[in-house]
Amino acid sequence: MLNFKYRIKVMNHKGERINRNKNIFPAEEERELIVKHMAFKEIRACRDLEIKECQYICPICNREFNKRHGLLTHITMAHPNEKWQLKGKK
């Protein structure tokens, strides 16, 4: 399976700093990161962190997309040899 990356802007609404998946979020500050899929899931699950913006990054050519569907369509059309590595594809 391809290892998806995300460029996210995260705002910490809590009055103290938060540590999530080797990332530190200072209190009441917005931060921009590039994270892998598992770190993204953990950040998304934290109620005190608000994801303000999310870009999906192609793991093959590093092109960025606003929606997951756009990324999957791009991989299918632009990288047909890599299509089999997508989860659920054969």
Tens-place pLDDT, residues 28-66: 888 899 999 888 999 899 888 999 999 999 988 999 999
In residues, how long is the chain? Answer: 90
Give the structural domain span for 47: 5-85
Asked if residue 23 lies in contact with residue 42, where contact means CB atoms within 8 angstroms, the answer is no
The verdict on residue 75 lying in a domain is yes
In angstroms, what is the C-alpha Rg of the chain? 15
- Domain count for the chain, please give it: 1
Q: Choose between 51 and 88: higher pLDDT.
A: 51
Q: In the structure, what pLDDT confidence band is assigned to residue 90 with cuts at 50, 70 and 90?
A: very low
Does a structural domain hold residue 90?
A: no
Strand-by-strand arrangement of the 30-36 sheet: 30-36, 5-12, 49-57, 64-65
Q: For residue 76, what pLDDT band results from cuts at 50, 70 and 90?
A: confident
In the chain, what percentage of residues exceed pLDDT 90? 37
Q: Is residue 32 part of a domain?
A: yes
Q: Letter for the amino acid at 75? A: I
For residue 34, tell me if it sits in a domain: yes
